Amino acid sequence: AEVVLLAMAPASTRPVLREALAMGADRAVLLSDHWFAGSDTLATSRILATAIRRLEPFDLIFCGNFTLDGSTAQVPSQIAELLGIPNIMHVSAMEFRQAQPLLVTQKIEQGLVKLEAEPPLLLSFIKEANKPRYSSFLEILAAETREIAVWTNADLHLGAGLIGLGGSPTQMADL
């Protein structure tokens, strides 16, 4: 399997991607362009879904449940909808089983539910599901030399009315 990191963020995010490369990811792609600035969850999902299509074929897409900036939990389900694949949110655990569907544990209001699912599939994980793998010094050094591809809108070819402020039907009034 190949693990590809995909982040839509400013160029200053590279150290975070390098840390994930040191943890074992195969490659990283940073989506960064001034045209993306001001994107709401829908415009962000369009950008991410378009980039994911460039990476096809894929089996599993892993997302965090919430973003750091808005904490809306809308982006994973919107990406899945735009890609036309199933989405399971609030995942606390996932188990690969030989010649069987994935076994996914989902946190719900009254406890946990176990689901079987087949790829292609998008899973968004809750924070508690993560048990970070710590990197060795040699892995950290090796990650420093790895390329992080940067894709802009020139690579994705999305119209200005679909991204950034122009493609965002919702606007933050105040915080």
**What is the per-residue pLDDT for 167?**
85
pLDDT tens digits, one per residue of 138-154:
998 889 989 999 999 99
Least confident stretch, 82-86, 91-95, 131-135, 160-164? 131-135
- Residue 39 pLDDT > 70, yes or no? yes
Alpha carbon distances (Å) from 30 to 103, 117, 167: 30, 29, 20
pLDDT tens digit string along 54-94?
999 999 999 988 665 556 778 999 999 999 999 999 999 99
